[in-house]
Structure 1
Amino acid sequence: MSEFEVRLFQDDAAIIAIGEGLLARTLPREAWTHEAHLAACLWIVRDRADIAPERDMAAIISGYNEAAGGVNDDHQGYHETITQVYIAGVKAHLSETPDGTPLREAVNTLLLSPRGRRDLALHFYSKELLFSVPARRGFVAPDIAPLSAI
């Protein structure tokens, strides 16, 4: 079990505001929580056909981090492998979500599922590999279980 309480969304507008704030690089840094990461990712995957998440998320998140006063280096900021794991998890979740499901419901269901857990990537990667510089800087294949099991 996670030691963190999951913060659920009350409406679609809150999720859209996070996604749009991420894209515009105006989202307050304190609002960029685990839940916000997943909500923005699901909104982008589901509702923004103009964005290819596997290709575009690195620039989106890295640019946001820098605009919010952060850095993207070998030890902090954007993490490619973790991002790709969650994109895969979001896509798998959406493949099981009925068409027409409200955005809030789709996001909250994801957040409460195993795919929404903060430690999701550790089901596929050892800590040593996941938190390595190569995994942060580029996608590395899992060493515990294939991502197809997501």
Structure 2
Amino acid sequence: MTTEYSPRLFARDSDIRALGEGLLACALPREAWTHEAHLAACLWLLSERPDIDVDAEIAAIIRRFNESVGGVNDDMQGYHDSITRAYVAGVRLFLSQTAETGLANRVNALLLSDIGRRDWPLRFYSRERLFSVPARRGFVEPDLAPLPDAPSPADERP
């Protein structure tokens, strides 16, 4: 059964930057940390914050934010490492392929793409594996297909 997917889109680049800065400063209201906000913040971090090593820091950034709004990061709720890392790979792939310019245009195109869908990681993982405690607590390799591999910026240089 296919469900209709209609993400909340962003009107301005400044809204996305404020969201990303709010995440880093633990200054967002909990209800603002939606699926769309996760992907917008990821794209912003990857494209506009070269000072942040997303692979090394994303888990701590999200865990710290979750705790700042009263959430917990345990075996059942909060930060989910495998889902996060799947989306980081997807956002990198999207950025390597998009012709969109402007932060809001890129984020909105991502949200409207297959990669932006809430069920996108299930192309690579069975539900059982993805929603397991080990997958939440640390990265586990997909069991259905490998995650996409986007070219690194060094690979794109002539």
TM-score normalised by structure 1 residue count? 0.95
Q: State the Cα deviation string for residues 110-150 of structure 1 (Å, max 9, x = none).
A: 00000000001111000100000100010000000111378
> Structure 2 regions of 5+ residues with no counterpart?
151-158
**% of aligned pairs identical?**
61
Q: Secondary structure at the match of 1:25?
A: coil
TM superposition shift of 1:55: 1.2
Contact 2:90/2:148 (<8 A) preserved: no
- Per the alignment, residue 103 of structure 1 pairs with 103
Match of 1:61, as an amino acid?
A: I
How far apart in 1 are the matches of 2:44 and 2:149?
A: 23
What letter matches 1:67 in structure 2?
S
Q: Match of 2:148, SS?
A: helix
2:105 match: secondary structure: helix
Paired amino acid for 1:111: L
C-alpha deviation, 1:2, in angstroms: 3.9
What amino acid does structure 1 have at the position aligned with 2:119?
A: D
Shift in Å at residue 53 of structure 1? Answer: 1.1
Instruction: Find the counterpart in structure 2 of residue 68 from structure 1.
Output: 69
* In structure 1, C-alpha distance between the alignment counterparts of 2:98 and 2:120, rounded to whole Å: 19
Deviations 1:33-68 (A, max 9, x none): 000000000000000001111111000000000001
How many residues are aligned here? 149
Query: Are residues 1:121 and 2:121 paired?
Result: yes
**Normalised TM-score (structure 2):** 0.90
Q: Distance in 2 between matches of 1:125 and 1:87?
A: 15
Given the alignment of the two structures, is residue 58 of structure 1 paired with residue 59 of structure 2, yes or no?
Answer: yes
